[in-house]
A and B are shown apart, each in its own frame.
Chain A
Amino acid sequence: EPEVTQTPSHQVTQMGQEVILRCVPISNHLYFYWYRQILGQKVEFLVSFYNNEISEKSEIFDDQFSVERPDGSNFTLKIRSTKLEDSAMYFCASSPLIGQVGETQYFGPGTRLLVL
């Protein structure tokens, strides 16, 4: 069964450094998402992406964040200058249909980011 994959599974970085989190969505999916889960808290929406542009973003997704689909398979989240509070689990998700309300989103296994 196709699945969303994410690399790396764990990343440790120094405050102020740039990190790039990578995701490979399910191949025929069209909508891509990033979510964040700070330890012990709920999962929060960051951004959705369709047709090579941001479709919606939350207030968390400020100027230090960016997303890109550099080729036909990868979907990346870049954090330009990491802060301690960026430490979290970052989930990528994808869904097959174009902006369908309630279309199931399939999640990757997550990248655990630790900022020191």
Chain B
Amino acid sequence: AQTVTQSQPEMSVQEAETVTLSCTYDTSESDYYLFWYKQPPSRQMILVIRQEAYKQQNATENRFSVNFQKAAKSFSLKISDSQLGDAAMYFCAWAGNEKLTFGTGTRLTIIP
């Protein structure tokens, strides 16, 4: 069974600084996708970024980028120029079929 591990239950970063959230996963599949979702206090799940496993190039969306290391099964999220609105729970997720398998999340606090 696929598993997704987020080893940092909580992280904090100073506003305007850069923070990296870690995620590792375990799978025997060769074709899969990885996601980062953001869950603010409203508890809505918002897609942050998506990575195809067959692509070597790391995905980027504005201030958000990933470091995808397929051999190490690692998928970290880097947030640059952190803003107060980035404060949320961040979930890493894996998809090799229809369903998403989520990690336990990292709560990110932004310090003004």
How many residue pairs, one in A and one in B, have C-beta atoms under 8 Å apart?
63
Question: Would A56 and B99 count as touching, CB distance under 8 A?
Answer: yes
Question: Would B103 and A104 count as touching, CB distance under 8 A?
Answer: no
| A44 interface residue (CB < 8 Å to B) | yes
| A51 interface residue (CB < 8 Å to B) | no
CB distance from A105 to the nearest CB of B (A): 6
Interface size of B by CB at 8 A reads 26
For chain A, give the interface size range: 20 to 34
Question: B42: which of A31, A35, A109 is its contact (CB, 8 Å)?
Answer: A109
Contact with A along B50-70 (1 / 0, CB 8 A): 101000000000000000000
**Lowest 4 CB-CB distances: which A-B pairs, in order?**
A102-B33, A107-B45, A45-B99, A43-B102
Residues of B whose CB lies within 8 Å of any CB of A are 31-33, 35, 37, 42-47, 50, 52, 91, 93, 95-105
